[in-house]
Amino acid sequence: MHTNLSVNINKIATLRNARGGNCPDVLKAARDIESFGAEGITVHPRPDERHIRREDVHNLSAMLTTEFNIEGYPSPEFIDLVCSVHPAQVTLVPDAPDQLTSNHGWDTLTHRAFLTDVVARFKECGIRTSIFISAEERFADGAREVGADRVELYTGPYAALYPADPARAIEPFLQTARHCRDLGLGLNAGHDLSLENLGFYHEQIPWTDEVSIGHALICDALYLGLRETVSRYLALLRS
Ligand code: PXP
């Protein structure tokens, strides 16, 4: 069992965009993160391009040597962009265009017809699909029904409860993760994972295929530097 670390580099683009120009350089950061051992790079291009721009997506795609994961709401523009760059994985997120950050997963039952079409479209392009869901078995069932390869469990509620009660925080995730394993669905996790809470999550659910981590990792890098930060996250996934 091996859990890949995919680093979400949106925040690096946010910093760059704050001043114009190209500092910090998003492409260099991605290349460095790969060289420090991360197994993937994630971006979440939004329609307003407030962090990752369409141009970044094309440039990253031409350069990356690890798995490229593009996440976002599957609008017609997003679908065209993803199919044109052909990443290893697309993660479908039910975000409104102006949403600050993802704060819920798909209701895969209510949106079954829409997701079935979208997943089929990505399958035609040969791209692995993952659906962002809350840790509930019924949403994993729905993801399976619409033909997704994986789900990404929304770990925000885990991270919020972890400091007070780790056992209770992990409970629904463990149950849903076991269910995914029984269904033969691949399993990702992401949102608010950190050096504090990742170790326990991984110890409890070691069959997780990939964790996607951005905010806390980039914050840690301010103090530790990117190389040391990436190696600390990897160490938690390898222990
Ligand atoms: N997974 C999804 C679907 C997301 O939208 C995000 C945030 O862009 C993440 C993972 C990473 O979350 P965080 O930045 O809190 O690590």
- Reported as a single tens digit per residue, the pLDDT across 194-221 is 999 999 999 999 999 999 999 999 999 9
Query: Which protein residue's CA is at the shortest distance from atom 12 of ligand 1?
Result: 191
Beta strands 150-154 and 186-190: pairing type? parallel
Across the range 19-27, mean pLDDT stands at 96
Ligand 1 atom 6, closest CA: 191
139-170 pLDDT, tens per residue? 999 999 999 999 999 999 999 999 999 999 99
Q: Which residues of 4-16 are buried (b: 16+ CB within 10 A; e: fewer)?
A: bbbbbbbbbbeeb
Give tens-digit pLDDT for 95-111.
Answer: 876 666 667 899 999 99
What three-state secondary structure class fits 69? strand
The answer to whether 115 and 146 have CB atoms below 8 angstroms apart is: yes
What is the predicted pLDDT for the residue at 99? 66
List, in sequence order, every residue forming a beta bridge with 210; answer none if it has no partner: 4, 188
Instruction: Please indicate, yes or no, whether the overall pTM of this predicted structure exceeds 0.85.
Output: yes
To the nearest whole number, what is the mean pLDDT of the chain? 96
- Report the percentage of the chain scoring pLDDT > 90: 93
Relative orientation angle of helices 166-183 and 137-145, to the nearest 10 degrees: 30
* Of 34, 67, 71, 152, catalytic: 71
Q: CB within 8 A of 7, min separation 6: which ones? A: 33, 38, 40, 41, 42, 212, 213, 214, 217, 230
- For the segment 116-123, the average pLDDT, to the nearest whole number, is 98
Q: How far is the CA of 132 from the centre of ligand 1 (A)?
A: 10
Closest ligand 1 atom to residue 194 Cα is 16
Could you tell me the pLDDT band of residue 1, with boundaries at 50, 70 and 90? confident
pLDDT for 239 equals 82
Query: Which pLDDT value is given to residue 119?
Result: 98
Known active-site residue 145? no
**Minimum-distance ligand 1 atom for the alpha carbon of 71:** 3
Q: Which tens digits make up the pLDDT trace of 53-86?
A: 999 999 999 999 999 999 999 999 999 999 999 9
What structural domains and CATH numbers belong to the chain?
4-238 (3.20.20.70)
| Catalytic residue (choose from 44, 51, 179, 202) | 44
Q: What is the pLDDT of residue 100?
A: 67
